[in-house]
Structure 1
Amino acid sequence: MLLEERLSNWIDSYNRNGYLNGTMLIASNENILLNRGFGMANWEHSVPNVPTTKFRIGSLTKAFTAMAIFQLHEKQKLNIDDYVGKYLHDYPNGQEITIYHCLTNSSGIPNYTNFPDFWFRTMRLPSTLDQLIDSFKGRELEFEPGSKFDYSNSGYALLTAIIEKVSDMSYGDYIQQHICHPLGMYHTGCDDGIKVVPGLASGYSFWEEPIHTAYADMSFPLGSYGLYSTTEDLFIWDKALKSSNILHKELTKKMLTPNLGSYACGWMVSEIMGKKCVHHFGDISGFSSEFLRFVDDEVTIIFLSNMNVTPVMHLSREIAKIVFDKNVSSPAPAVPITYTKKESIVGKYVMENEDKALTITIKNNEPYLTVPKMYGALYKFKLIPFCHDSTKTAFLTEMIYERVIFFYSLSGEIERVQYVDCFEKTHTLHKH
């Protein structure tokens, strides 16, 4: 079977169950194998996702911030080994933290998105870049700069301030004028949350149905996680990183070389399925994204989603398996069968060897599964019975590919329960 056919079979099996949300571009040797949109860009107006839909790309932004810093280094407007205090004069420990420490997440500056009040309060309020920096600059460093890796949006906020100071331009203008427009990326920019961006998807979460995600004010994500783009623009970006059009080859190599562990500058470099991959994940207010660049194999997978439960990281790796001719599984069609004993499965279930619990409830005579996901947030999915005999009953969830399977004893009692999550990890459950 041809690669395009295998890809399209797998994608169709996911898509017919409504498990794909967003836009996906897959390329090999710079030939686009697939470039498609799935699900809705806007549920309110029934606008579908298409290859030109724009998405907030979250931390994929960091790669652009790193490129801007390296360009300014090349123009000798700054040096990546300079201390940040040279540009941000009153910054505490500014004589210990270098620009390179911030680029490689080894600065020791506490990550402001991890502060206890961030999710409930701070992220929803407007803030200037200076106010944002003031919110963390008085805090103690978590370790000596350069001694270890710890992901920090705070370091990228400092880089944003340095770019603005050195270039005498706003971050958004710099990115468009020096990176995006010279490359022909006309659908990428900085989302300030005020300006209307034509073709920008809305971000969603899920509770029984698509819902609005918690509001995130866009005044301050900027160079940490504030850009929007399309899969097609990011494919241009992918190709630009292989050329020396906007940055000298030696500097590009430095930018893409890991410092501590697998983190380089705005990119991770690690082995996926035994192959070198330059990659990054992003998420912000309902959007999640994954960008995989198998540089030696010339395979690129870009998946931008506006439904935060879509497991873009896992699905992108499944696609990589198909491209590299490895086995992948596909979901059964979510066609409901008759199942009358719904009350028998209601209850709270605890995962063996984990402190996580799932709850099954009935609403309008339909079973629902409530389950914690990333950051501990709870989601609620309808359960669709799709397979039943005397030994077991199996359910599929709506919106993402998960399964709950009840196994019966000879007398028909529930003997054990399995939960297969969206990463295809199987958990044993015990009724609480």
Structure 2
Amino acid sequence: MHYSNSNFVLLTFILEKTFRKPYAELLNKYITKPLGLTNTSLGGKINTSKNECSSYRYIDTWKPEPETDISIPLGAGGIVSTPADLVKFSDALFSGKLLKTETLELMKTPKGQYGMGLFKIPFFDLTGYGHTGGIDGFSSVFSYFPDGNISYAMTCNGSNFNNNNISIAVLSAVFSKPYEIPDFKTYEVSPEELDKYLGVYSSAQIPIKITITRENKTLIAQGTGQSSFPLEATEKDKFRFDQAGILMEFDTESKTMVLKQGGGEFRFTKE
């Protein structure tokens, strides 16, 4: 079983048809009001005058991301919340205040990679349960670890570092696990040097092409049918995108690029 945005949108429609009420009302009646989640609701048009924030992406500087109409994602990414409310929700869910014990056990029992609304989250010798989220430049994480009855949540409206690595750092502190602080040094590359890497790269290993472009002093990578993302130079010919754990190493003489991600290594050739 895998996570599916489309299926969560369908579940939203099923709820609305079954109860004959808008999803926002159901969210308020059955979850936010009973649990006292005063900063959680179905989102709408962002209003910064009401202390709401826009989302951003970093390319040389922080730039606003386009805003998705919440009527599109609904239950698949339309809920607005805070870390404090997410922790309250987590505590209520895993203490049995929201669901019957057998229903919660179904959520915690994955079939393949995914359960009924929860991922299993391994951390050293511990196992937690939780979920991540992301839309536009927003991202979120919540997890619960039975050992110690620990709930952890993070929300972000612009990230230039991998949220998973941030979570590992926090959980390492909570559970007294070893953790090495990463090196945040960057490597300056001139626009003229960056232009040597531009082009379309294809691989015999995976059916995807990666297009490399430049925006000011930043390389931009985009896989076929995917969103673009900025690359940060770490040393000569080497770049990274921390949010997805991507490393790219170019060889301009042979016109090749090696992409490393999640333990995999894929060789691309410039077309």
Corresponding residue of 1:192: 44
Q: Tell me which structure has the larger Cα radius of gyration.
A: 1
Aligned to 1:94: none
Tell me the CA shift for residue 170 of structure 1: 1.3
1:379 paired with 2:200, answer no
Tell me the CA shift for residue 232 of structure 1: 0.6
Q: Aligned AA for 1:348?
A: K
Q: Distance in 1 between matches of 2:125 and 2:222?
A: 28
Are positions 1:430 and 2:243 aligned together? no
Partner of 2:195: 347
Match of 1:253 in 2: 105
Post-superposition offset of 1:267: 1.2
Equivalent residue in structure 2 for 1:228, among 38, 58, 80: 80
1:272 aligns with one of 110, 120, 123? 123
Structure 1 alignment gaps of length 5 or more: 1-148, 381-401, 407-416
User: What residue number does 1:12 align with?
Assistant: none
C-alpha distance in structure 1 between counterparts of 2:75 and 2:17, whole Å: 13
Match of 1:182? 34
The answer to whether 1:302 aligns with 2:150 is no
**Alignment partner of 1:313 is 2:164:** yes
Give the letter for the 2:113 counterpart.
Answer: S
Deviation at 1:183, TM superposition (A): 0.8
Number of aligned positions between the proteins: 243
Instruction: Pick closer, same or farther for the CA change 1:196–1:247 going to 2, 3 Å.
Output: farther
Cα deviation 1:149-180 (Å, max 9, x = unaligned): 24322222222122222223211111111111
Q: How far did residue 285 of structure 1 move?
A: 1.8
1:355-385 CA distance string (max 9 Å, x none): 6575678x6xxxx2313278341437xxxxx
Say whether the 8 Å CA contact 2:160–2:242 is kept in structure 1. Answer: no
Matched residue, 2:113: 262
Cα distance in 2, alignment partners of residues 174 and 345 from structure 1: 55
What amino acid is the match of 1:331?
D
- CA distance 1:268–1:345, shift in 2 (3 Å): same
Q: Distance in 1 between matches of 2:109 and 2:132?
A: 18
- The higher-RCO structure (CA 8 Å, 6+ apart) is 1
Question: Could you tell me which amino acid in structure 2 is paired with residue 184 of structure 1?
Answer: G
Q: Which amino acid aligns with 1:222?
A: L
Contact kept, 8 Å, 1:352 with 1:430, in 2: the verdict is no
Decide whether aligned partners of structure 1 residues 348 and 320 sit closer, same or farther in structure 2, where only a CA change above 3 A counts.
farther
Match of 1:370 in 2: 219
1:12-23 → structure 2 map (5 Å cutoff):
none
Q: Is the 8 A contact 1:287 1:307 kept in 2?
A: yes
Deviations 1:289-334 (A, max 9, x none): 1223223343333121111554223322233234341222233577
Q: How does 1:346-425 map to 2 (within 5 A)?
A: 346-349=194-197, 356=210, 368-372=217-221, 375-379=226-230, 402-406=232-236, 417-422=237-242
Q: What amino acid maps onto 2:140 in structure 1?
A: S
Counterpart of 1:418, as a letter, is K
Amino acid in structure 2 at the alignment position of 1:238: S
Q: Kindly provide the amino acid, as one letter, of the partner of residue 60 in structure 2.
A: E
Take 2:214 and 2:75, find their aligned partners in 1: how far apart are those partners?
41
Maintained 8 Å contact 2:127/2:145? yes
CA contact (8 A) 2:57 2:63 kept: yes
| Aligned pairs for 1:203-218 within 5 A | 203-218=55-70
TM-score, length of structure 2 as denominator length: 0.74
Contact 1:352–1:429 at 8 Å: present in 2 too? no
The 3-state SS of whatever aligns with 1:348 is helix
Residue 347 of structure 1 aligns to which amino acid in structure 2?
D
Higher strand share: 2
Show CA shifts across 1:22-65 (max 9, x none): xxxxxxxxxxxxxxxxxxxxxxxxxxxxxxxxxxxxxxxxxxxx
CA distance in 1, matches of 2:76, 2:246: 31
Residues 268-292 of structure 1 show CA distances to partners (whole Å, capped at 9, x for unaligned) of: 1242334212121111122111223
Q: TM-score scaled to structure 1, two decimals?
A: 0.49
Separation of aligned partners in 1, 2:134 and 2:247: 25
Query: For residues 356 and 291 of structure 1, do their structure 2 counterparts lie closer, same or farther at Cα, with a shift above 3 Å needed?
Result: same
Q: Give the letter for the 2:21 counterpart.
A: M
Identical columns (%): 24
Q: CA distance change for structure 1 residues 157 and 279 in 2, over 3 Å: closer, same or farther? A: same
For residue 232 of structure 1, give the secondary structure of its aligned residue in structure 2. helix
> Over aligned residue pairs, what C-alpha RMSD do you find?
3.4
For 1:194 and 1:369, locate their aligned partners in 2 and report how far apart those are by CA, in whole Å.
Answer: 29
Q: Determine the C-alpha separation between the residues in 2 that align with 1:197 and 1:168.
A: 33
